[in-house]
Amino acid sequence: MTKQERATRTRQALIRSAATVIERHGYAEARLVLISSGAGVSTGALHFHFENKAAVAEAVVAEASRGLHEASGAIRHRTDTALQALVDTSHTVAELLRDDPVTRAGFRLSCDGERSAAPDLRAEWQRRVQDLLTEAADVGTLADGVSREDAVAAIVAATAGFEVLGRHDGAWLSPRTLTGFWRLLLPRLATPQALTRLDPSGTGATTATAGHTVGAGAGEAGAPEPVARR
Amino acid sequence: MTKQERATRTRQALIRSAATVIERHGYAEARLVLISSGAGVSTGALHFHFENKAAVAEAVVAEASRGLHEASGAIRHRTDTALQALVDTSHTVAELLRDDPVTRAGFRLSCDGERSAAPDLRAEWQRRVQDLLTEAADVGTLADGVSREDAVAAIVAATAGFEVLGRHDGAWLSPRTLTGFWRLLLPRLATPQALTRLDPSGTGATTATAGHTVGAGAGEAGAPEPVARR
């Protein structure tokens, strides 16, 4: 391993450790010594990479943004239609929020006003939703009479809700909940012809669950359990 | 004014002041002296009503809960159908979040884990949504093939999203945004017959805006502007 490779690896370990510490203690209480020790390095090593805590937080958000951007690009590349790419991307965002501390901490740092660390992940997600719905409209797969702005707002709000509610109850970020959301919404968004080709449970390798049929209607018998119980 | 009336009035002033202080500084930084001076009373008077800061916070959440419960009951009483009551209640919740610091602080205290002050306002809202959709299903106004659980989850997630996104950009809590949400969702929730009688912009005196027609489809020409710009 070259010196350069070691440095990159240490930087990544510091970002991951920072995400975990910030998630546990909040930004204000996230001490640098916890972050460096979590990455198995000295605070001196931390300061080699980052000037201060704000710089670490910015790196967490930037890393989360990079991961989301990369995932979203790969999904669009492998997916036939913009609407399916939208469904698949939302499943992947939920999966990252469930499993990846960098994504979780990135959203909190970017959105909660604890720190206004650029980039704004929710605004980036909103632009992604807008782009994919515009693409769907351009090729005529968006249902007639549906306002694109209404659709963007509903999708962005619901996914922000899943993120926030999922902090206390992971069921809100489950494939089941996301699938139910798209099973409800897709028949309103897609033309009848486009709808037949869409899978609300996602077509990704990691997020695919038992393929539900859109629009067939689960009724009460097949309805998912309540997503949150308290 | 009797002694009892004065005490009630002081208690209400303290709750309102606490909401404002907690909203501005966060629960951890909300100092009792700021809360009492904001209500125009001494800290001694505050301690006559509340044992400590946790008790003040609990009173804020309880007061927010009471307000939401009262509004929701009044709306159901004056509204013909459960689905319209659901639409109207969501508009009123958004209005309270826009205009009432007690509701805003109540949601933050109840949901953000700063303090786990009972009652849980989001769980109460979820039960309300569940009850109204069950009522709609019982009288046959819920569209065939729609899973009630999917609908509850989508509505609860979207409204949680409006609340959280609205903290940084009030447009997310505007009548326009809420109306757009219901314009999108109602044709999926209601039977065609029930749909003709529903107004996505709400039928309340305070929240009524220009009556949109559901399902007619605003298209791009009539689409609302982007709800959030950054």
Range B115-119 average pLDDT:
61
Q: Are residues B12 and B38 in the same domain?
A: yes
The answer for B 83-102 residues in CB contact with A (under 8 A) is none
Judge whether A55 lies within some domain. no
* Beta carbons of B184 and A230 less than 8 Å apart: no
Mutate which: A29, A147, A167, A172, vs B, most B CBs within 10 A: A147
- CATH of residue B195's domain is 1.10.357.10
Say what percent of chain B tops pLDDT 70: 86
Would you state the pLDDT for residue A213?
37
- What is the mean pLDDT, run by run of 10 residues, along chain A of 230 residues? 90 97 91 96 95 94 96 95 98 97 93 65 95 97 95 98 93 97 97 97 62 38 38
ipTM for the whole complex? 0.86
Q: Are residues B181 and B106 in the same domain?
A: yes
> For tokens 């209607």, what's the residue?
A217
Number of domains in chain A: 2
**Contacts of A74 by beta carbon, 8 Å cutoff, 6+ apart:** none
CA dist list (Å): B1 to A148, B9, B16, B37: 56, 10, 20, 22
Which residues are bridge partners to B190 per DSSP? B142
Please tell me the distance from the alpha carbon of residue B27 to that of residue B105, in angstroms, as a whole number: 9
Q: Where residue B183 falls among pLDDT bands split at 50, 70, 90?
A: very high
Instruction: Give residue A148's domain range.
Output: 60-230
Would you state the pLDDT for residue A205?
57
Would you state the pLDDT for residue A50?
96
Would you state the pLDDT for residue B176?
97
B chain contacts of residue A164, beta-carbon cutoff 8 Å = 111, 160-161, 164
Please tell me the distance from the alpha carbon of residue A137 to that of residue A86, in angstroms, as a whole number: 13
pLDDT at B118 over 90: no
Please tell me the distance from the alpha carbon of residue B113 to that of residue B136, in angstroms, as a whole number: 33
* Beta carbons of A223 and B148 less than 8 Å apart: yes
| Digit-coded pLDDT (tens) for B10-68 | 999 999 999 999 999 989 899 999 999 999 999 999 999 999 999 999 999 999 999 99
Q: Are residues B87 and B183 in the same domain?
A: yes
Closest chain B residue to A230, measured at CA: B123
Would you state the pLDDT for residue B177?
98
| Digit-coded pLDDT (tens) for B202-224 | 997 544 333 333 333 333 333 33
Beta carbons of A147 and B217 less than 8 angstroms apart: yes
* Beta carbons of B180 and A147 less than 8 Å apart: yes
Burial class (CB in 10 A: 0-12, 13-18, 19+), B2: exposed
| Helix spans in B1-146 (H) | 3-25, 32-38, 43-49, 53-78, 82-99, 101-111, 121-138
Phi, psi dihedrals of residue A142, rounded to the nearest 5°: -80, 135
Q: Using a CB–CB cutoff of 8 Å, tell me whether A118 touches chain B.
A: no
- CATH of residue B8's domain is 1.10.10.60
- From A42's Cα to the closest Cα of chain B, the distance in A is 31
Number of H helices, E strands in chain A: 10, 0
B chain contacts of residue A166, beta-carbon cutoff 8 Å = none
Q: Are residues B44 and B64 in the same domain?
A: no
Would you state the pLDDT for residue B110?
84
What sign results for the dihedral spanned by CA atoms B159, B164, B165, B171?
positive
Q: Are residues A189 and A78 in the same domain?
A: yes
Beta carbons of B147 and A222 less than 8 angstroms apart: yes
DSSP structure class, residue A51: S
Token pair for A171: 């069921």
Would you state the pLDDT for residue A138?
96
Return mean pLDDT, chain A.
87
Token pair for B221: 């020409």
Q: Are residues B43 and B67 in the same domain?
A: no
